[in-house]
């Protein structure tokens, strides 16, 4: 919990400043937009967290988003597949890619960075190949299907409605929190992140757990890709989901996951994803921040936030030490 306080503080500060600088920030519609974006990126971040907790990394998230994002409208619109079948198929493909990552990493002992970096290249290439580099969209149809990406659940207050992806994220986050913190599987993943050899020596089927972690990650990337394309309505194979793996990893690390493995916080990951979305929102809403420095602002604020968090933590630890003896 104490790892999460820092990032929650950062979110509060960023929200506060943006609200002060733009009267439009605290409007129902804007909060709704932010919730939807946070939900979409949060799904990717949670997937990344499963892999990061084992001490691994997945760089293929953005390309899986692209593959699923392009395949879904392609299959439904161009090939005329039934929507339900398509959803099941693309999620199955995503999960299968995760299994393959896991097997390559555990059986062939290849480095996760390498395996998933190749995934990054391969899946985008496949997406572009299958679609012939053509933009794939729903052409304003399939609104029932797209509900899960762009739907709104009216609550009858102001201009606000709960975006459907937020509901999906809530469900996934609760399941992930239970899985990571309260199940044997989660315990094993953390044990592997702390010391994979020790976990193996203790009789844990470490390989199976690692494969499962990559599978969950790829599946959530696939789910994210699905909801992204439902939200936007179309996907361009060349840049859809480009660098989203970095947003996912950043959300996870910002939310208290250690890249060395063993530490994870579901709440932290979701808040981490929210911080980045609020920052981008602020850049568009606040008139005096030029668009061009977007990345610099995101990077700078995150770095400052993490640095301040670390300084405060050390100060607290120092004080505790002084008081204890």
The interface with other proteins within residues 35-54 (CB under 8 A) comprises 37
DSSP string, 236-256: -TTTTTTTHHHHHHHHHHHTT
Shortest CB 226 distance to other proteins, Å: 14
Shortest CB 244 distance to other proteins, Å: 9
User: Which residues from 93-152 bind other proteins, rule CB under 8 A?
Assistant: 128, 132-135, 137-140
Of 85, 114, 243, 259, the one binding other proteins (CB under 8 A) is 243
Q: Does 74 bind other proteins (CB under 8 A)?
A: no
Q: Does 236 bind other proteins (CB under 8 A)?
A: yes
* Continuous segment of H or E residues that includes residue 115: helix 112-131
Shortest CB 238 distance to other proteins, Å: 3
With vertex at residue 12, the alpha carbon angle to CA 7 and CA 15, rounded to the nearest 5 degrees, is 120
Of 175, 293, 296, 315, the one binding other proteins (CB under 8 A) is 315
User: Which residues from 178-197 bind other proteins, rule CB under 8 A?
Assistant: 182-185, 187-188, 190-191, 194-195, 197
Shortest CB 155 distance to other proteins, Å: 18
Q: Does 246 bind other proteins (CB under 8 A)?
A: no
- Nearer to other proteins among residue 106 and residue 234 (C-beta): 234
d(CA 150, CA 206): 39
DSSP 157: E
Report whether 272 contacts 253 (CB < 8 A): yes
Q: Does 240 bind other proteins (CB under 8 A)?
A: yes
* Residue 179 half-sphere exposure toward CB, CA atoms < 13 A: 17
Per-residue binder mask for other proteins (CB under 8 A), 258-297, x = binder: ----x-----------------xx--xxxxx--xx-xx--
Report whether 271 contacts 174 (CB < 8 A): no
Count of CB atoms situated within 10 Å of the CB of 201: 10
DSSP 159: T
User: Which residues from 194-213 bind other proteins, rule CB under 8 A?
Assistant: 194-195, 197-205
Count of CB atoms situated within 10 Å of the CB of 293: 12
Which two three-digit tokens encode residue 151? Answer: 């739907």
Shortest CB 308 distance to other proteins, Å: 6
Closest CA to 172 of 103, 115, 226: 226
Residue 33: helix, strand or coil by DSSP?
A: helix
Shortest CB 124 distance to other proteins, Å: 10
Q: Does 231 bind other proteins (CB under 8 A)?
A: yes
- Nearer to other proteins among residue 43 and residue 101 (C-beta): 43
Shortest CB 27 distance to other proteins, Å: 6
Residue written as token pair 């890619």: 97
Q: Does 215 bind other proteins (CB under 8 A)?
A: no
Residues composing the chain: 325
């Amino acid at each position: 919990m104490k790892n999460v306080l820092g990032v929650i503080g950062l979110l509060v500060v960023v929200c506060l400043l943006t609200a002060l600088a733009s009267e439009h920030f605290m409007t129902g519609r804007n909060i709704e937009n932010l919730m939807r974006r946070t939900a979409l990126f949060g799904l990717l971040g949670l997937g990344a967290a499963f892999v990061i907790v084992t001490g691994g990394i997945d760089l293929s998230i953005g390309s899986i988003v692209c593959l699923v994002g392009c395949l879904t409208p392609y299959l439904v619109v161009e090939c005329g597949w039934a929507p339900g079948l398509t959803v099941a198929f693309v999620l199955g493909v995503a999960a299968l890619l995760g299994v393959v990552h896991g097997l390559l990493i555990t059986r062939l002992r290849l480095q996760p960075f390498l395996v998933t970096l190749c995934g990054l290249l391969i899946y985008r290439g496949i997406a572009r190949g299958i679609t012939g580099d053509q933009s794939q969209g729903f052409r304003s149809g399939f609104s029932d299907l797209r509900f899960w990406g762009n739907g709104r659940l009216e609550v009858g207050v102001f201009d606000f409605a709960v975006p459907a992806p937020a509901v999906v994220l809530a469900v996934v986050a609760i399941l992930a929190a239970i899985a990571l913190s309260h199940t044997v599987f989660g315990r094993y993943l953390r044990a592997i992140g702390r010391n994979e050899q020790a976990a193996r020596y203790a009789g844990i089927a470490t390989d199976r757990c690692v494969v499962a972690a990559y599978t969950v990650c790829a599946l959530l990337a696939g789910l994210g890709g699905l909801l992204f394309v439902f939200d936007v309505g179309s996907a361009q194979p060349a840049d859809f989901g480009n660098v989203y793996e970095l947003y996912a990893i950043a959300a996870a690390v910002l939310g208290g996951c250690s890249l060395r493995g063993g530490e994870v916080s579901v709440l932290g990951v979701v808040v981490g994803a929210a911080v980045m979305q609020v920052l981008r929102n602020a850049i568009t809403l606040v008139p005096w921040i030029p668009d061009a420095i977007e990345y610099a602002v995101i990077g700078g604020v995150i770095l400052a936030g993490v640095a301040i968090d670390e300084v405060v933590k050390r100060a607290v630890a120092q004080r505790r030490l002084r008081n204890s003896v």
